Amino acid sequence: MKILITGGLGFVGSNLVEYLLKYKNIKKIIIVDNFSSSSIQYIEKFTKYKFFKSYNHYKKSISKVEIIKANINNFNIAKKITKNIDCIIHLAAESGIDKSITDPLNAFNVNVVGTFNYLEAARINKVKQFILASSGAVFGNQKPPFKEIYERNPISPYGSSKLTAETFCQTYGMTFKIQTTILRFSNAYGKYSKHKNSVIAKFINNIINSKQIVINGNGKITRDYIYVEDICSAIYKCLQNKKKSTIYHVSTNKETSLNDLIKKIEHTFNIILNSPLQIKKKYGKNRLGDMKSNSQSNNKIKKEMNWSPKTNLNQGLLKTLEWFILN
Ligand SMILES: NC(=O)c1ccc[n+]([C@@H]2O[C@H](COP(=O)([O-])OP(=O)(O)OC[C@H]3O[C@@H](n4cnc5c(N)ncnc54)[C@H](O)[C@@H]3O)[C@@H](O)[C@H]2O)c1
């Protein structure tokens, strides 16, 4: 199987490449990434690769992993690079809710136009499967846990951009017979996330650097934290699945408040350092675009794909913290 991963150098992408390399049926992985929020720093830790600094330099190689520095907003590159690909896993995105609020146009261009480019390229080149990384942010404020069929009312440009990308996927699935799989990840954490501004990565980075952590609001908002390797196993299961186009929630179905998360992080640091650690923290204002809760029901993917998350939050935090401390 020949896979193209957009955004393959990012947090989920680097973990996914490492995960997929274990499987013999994955013959080639082509990564398209513009290095806007990441770099080769993670991938170079676990595999050899062939790097092309632009599409103009690209030549087919025997290397199992090829990395092309390119912007997903370039449709001509999308059209050329998706020839003879079996599946596109579309991860590239502007993934920050806060950044989508300060620069909605960029979120739209990357998340909507960029997704459209790769869907349209998939149609032209008859790529059989397209997997979209989406998010629980499409739901806005609703009663958790969200089911796939719930009404979607995004409260951030990021959520809107993901919802728009989803509708294009569904339309392409129905109209052009591309198998589109929309995976709505809950809040991911794990190794290769040092560059991220997401809550667990940010808190750990700050604590390691003896900086204060700032909690937006009263700490009662809840999230559904999923260990990144569980996301990778869900993606791999979907790659094997040749069923109709569909949507799945890749989540744990469990809610943890920010206050409880901090206690767990503190406890995990204490285990690793074998001495008590006092986290410096302060409470700030609620952040625009932040949902009160983001917990997703994973019943559908459990039932239809026989997938379930394997790592609980305590185990995942331990592995994540060990990685952050060593790196
Ligand atoms: N991490 C999470 O908790 C989470 C939750 C829900 C959904 N998602 C989605 O999963 C996907 C991966 O997220 P992540 O956490 O790995 O993010 P990330 O920021 O670590 O990775 C995104 C990658 O896309 C690349 N990229 C950005 N704009 C690009 C462009 N215009 N052209 C080419 N490459 C570009 C970046 O350089 C980066 O390597 C995203 O679509 C995100 O919205 C993530």
12 within 8 A of 188, measured Cβ to Cβ? yes
- Taking residues 10-37, report their average pLDDT: 98
Q: What are phi and psi of 25, to 5 degrees?
A: -75, -10
Least confident of 87-101, 118-132, 263-277: 263-277
Quick one: which atom of ligand 1 is closest to the CA of 8?
A: 39
**Ligand 1 centroid to residue 224 C-alpha, Å:** 18
Percent of the chain with pLDDT over 70: 100
Given a cut of 90, whether residue 241 has pLDDT beyond it is no
What pLDDT digit, counting tens, does each position of 219-239 carry?
999 999 999 999 999 999 999
**Ligand 1 centroid to residue 90 C-alpha, Å:** 9
Topology of domain 2-188+228-253+295-311 in CATH is Rossmann fold (3.40.50)
**Ligand 1 centroid to residue 288 C-alpha, Å:** 21
Q: What are the beta bridge partners of residue 213?
A: 281
What pLDDT digit, counting tens, does each position of 104-134 carry?
999 999 999 999 999 999 999 999 999 999 9
In sequence order, which residues have a C-beta less than 8 Å from that of residue 274 and are 6 or more positions away?
A: none
What pLDDT digit, counting tens, does each position of 161-212 carry?
999 999 999 999 999 989 999 999 999 999 999 999 999 999 999 999 999 9
Kindly list the domain boundaries of the chain, sorted by start residue. Answer: 2-188+228-253+295-311
Check residue 228 and give its pLDDT.
98
Distance of CA 314 to the CA centre of its chain: 21
Check residue 289 and give its pLDDT.
84
* CB count in 10 Å sphere of residue 163: 20
Report the C-alpha gap between 176 and 20 in whole angstroms: 28
Check residue 194 and give its pLDDT.
96
Q: Which residue owns the Cα nearest ligand 1 atom 12?
A: 91
Quote the strand ranges of the chain, DSSP E: 2-6, 28-33, 50-52, 65-69, 87-90, 129-135, 179-185, 187-189, 213-216, 222-223, 225-227, 246-250, 256-257, 281-284, 293-294
Provide the CB-side half-sphere exposure for 240 (13 A, CA): 13
Residue 286: closest CA among 120, 97, 129, 111: 97
Global pTM value: 0.97
Percent of the chain with pLDDT over 90: 92
105 within 8 A of 21, measured Cβ to Cβ? no
Residues framing ligand 1 (Cβ under 6 A): 7, 9-13, 33-38, 71-73, 91-95, 110, 114, 133, 135, 185, 187-188, 196, 198
Name the residue with tokens 């794990």. 190
Q: Which residue owns the Cα nearest ligand 1 atom 15?
A: 11
DSSP designation for 137? G
